[in-house]
């Protein structure tokens, strides 16, 4: 999907000329003092506009520099929150839109310059969108996701940042800046921001903390549109070619996720990763919610009815034979336990021999009429 960004225009400021009498007096005084007068022109602004962080400041923050360079307008980092390797920037958008304003383009140019620095060349960056609290939490979550995707797209398509290094995620209104009031327009404007997080630094910052071992889990929700309403697809549900659906998943650990749709005639369609469906690719970061396809788009069924399945596989390492594993799972029939949606979708131990020991698997059968 190509995201077109419509940019707003700014009015240029004008300089008011001095009055004629003032110039005559200045010339007369200069003649008496025998001091030559030079016409003073406004200096060209070579620095970033107020509120715009320089590429060096952004680079310093993403590399884990001092905390004073992070945040917006001098807002301090939230107490107890790990701020290593992140920077919050006031990227602004049109009202209720994911269209980036023209005034935010210089800031994104500085971001791109920082990300292209040799010291960040190998870093993976999380682009995290935030909104204010105006409107519902569900709507703001979707809006923040679209805004994060818009920033990622602009950085890669317009400014040459490698898209494979960027992951977009929306946080909605769930993470307001500490000490910033939502009761004023100025406070709401500050919370409408985008944070850039160096996942390499953030992961290293928590390396010394004791973490209880956990199994790889993926929360999977398959939703569909039917009769103008949105529903959650459950095992045995019926879909028609007039219905649209999408798959949303959230792994609890960094992992490689594979999603397939299979029918009883042997057709296997890759849903993720698939550049024709989503620009997101593996690996998927821990607790990153991926919506396939992205907001505003849906998948549809063909005109061939029959029994079909959605199969999701995940592993901490790439699965070169993911398609073969998906087919094997789909053919398991009654031998395979149907994994329910959401947190109940647990890793299974009934896939034998070839699958890796950390394999997560999910299977959702439905009827295509």
- Interval 147-178: pLDDT, tens: 999 999 999 999 999 999 999 999 999 888 88
> Which residues lie below 8 Å from residue 96, measured CB to CB, with a gap of 6+?
143
329: pLDDT confidence band, cut at 50, 70 and 90?
Answer: confident
Q: Tell if the pTM clears 0.85, that is, is over it.
A: no
Going from the C-alpha of 213 to that of each of 63, 216, 300, the distances in angstroms are 28, 10, 39
Q: Are 250 and 297 in contact (CB under 8 A)?
A: no
What would the mean pLDDT of 4-28 be, rounded to a whole number? 36
Average pLDDT, the chain: 75
115: pLDDT confidence band, cut at 50, 70 and 90?
Answer: very high
Residue-level pLDDT at 207? 46
Q: Residues of 101-116 as b/e, b for ≥16 C-beta within 10 angstroms?
A: bebbeebbbbbbbbbe
- Going from the N-terminus, what domains does the chain have, and what CATH number goes with each? 55-205 (3.30.1330.60), 218-368 (2.60.40)
pLDDT for residue 90 is more than 70: yes
Residue-level pLDDT at 230? 87
What would the mean pLDDT of 43-50 be, rounded to a whole number? 38
Please tell me the least confidently modeled range out of 4-8, 54-58, 342-346: 4-8
Q: Which residue, 335, 268, 295, is CA-closest to 97?
A: 295
Q: What DSSP state is assigned to residue 186?
A: H
When mean pLDDT is compared over 17-31, 81-95, 204-218, the highest value belongs to: 81-95
């Amino acid at each position: 999907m190509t995201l077109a960004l419509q940019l707003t225009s700014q009015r240029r400021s004008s300089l008011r000329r001095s009055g004629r009498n003032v110039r005559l007096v200045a010339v007369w005084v200069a003649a008496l003092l025998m001091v030559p007068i030079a016409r003073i022109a406004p200096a060209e602004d070579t620095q970033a506009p107020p509120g715009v962080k320089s590429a060096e400041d952004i680079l310093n923050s993403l590399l884990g520099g001092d905390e004073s360079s992070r945040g917006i307008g001098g807002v301090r980092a939230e107490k107890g929150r790990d701020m290593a390797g992140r920077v919050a920037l006031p990227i602004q958008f049109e009202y209720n839109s994911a269209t980036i304003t023209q005034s935010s383009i210089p800031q994104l140019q500085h971001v791109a310059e920082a990300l292209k620095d040799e010291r960040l060349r190998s870093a993976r960056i999380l682009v995290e969108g935030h909104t204010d609290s105006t409107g519902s939490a569900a709507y703001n979550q979707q809006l923040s996701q679209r805004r994060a995707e818009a920033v990622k797209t602009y950085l890669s398509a317009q400014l040459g940042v490698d898209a494979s290094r960027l992951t977009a995620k929306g946080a909605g209104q769930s993470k307001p800046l500490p000490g910033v009031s939502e009761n004023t327009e100025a406070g709401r404007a500050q919370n409408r921001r985008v944070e850039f997080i160096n996942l390499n630094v953030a992961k290293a910052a928590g390396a010394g903390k004791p973490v209880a071992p956990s199994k790889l889990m993926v929360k999977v929700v398959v939703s569909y549109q039917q009769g103008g309403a949105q529903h959650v697809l459950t095992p045995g549900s019926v879909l028609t070619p007039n219905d649209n659906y999408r798959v949303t998943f959230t792994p609890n650990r960094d992992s490689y996720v594979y999603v397939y749709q299979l029918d009883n005639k042997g057709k296997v369609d890759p849903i993720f990763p698939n550049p024709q469906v989503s620009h997101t690719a593996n690996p998927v970061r821990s607790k990153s919610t991926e919506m396939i396809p992205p907001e505003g788009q849906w998948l549809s069924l063909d005109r061939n009815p029959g029994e079909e399945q959605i199969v999701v596989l995940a592993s901490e390492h790439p699965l070169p034979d993911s398609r073969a594993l998906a087919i094997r799972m789909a053919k398991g029939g009654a031998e395979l336990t149907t994994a329910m949606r959401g947190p109940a979708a647990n890793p299974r131990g009934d896939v034998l021999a070839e699958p890796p020991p950390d394999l997560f698997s999910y299977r959702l059968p439905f009827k295509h009429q």
